[in-house]
Structure 1
Amino acid sequence: MNNLINDGFGLMLLGMGFVFVFLCLLIIATGLMSKLINQYFPEATPVAKKPSVAPTTSNSASATDPKITAAITAAIHQHRNR
Structure 2
Amino acid sequence: MPFPYLCPHCGNNRSRFNLIEQVVTPVKKDAQTGEIIEHVSDQDPFQYRYHGEQYRVQCGVCGMIDSEELFIKNALRSLN
TM-score, reference length from structure 1: 0.22
- Identify, as 1 or 2, the structure richer in helix: 1
Q: Which has the larger radius of gyration?
A: 1
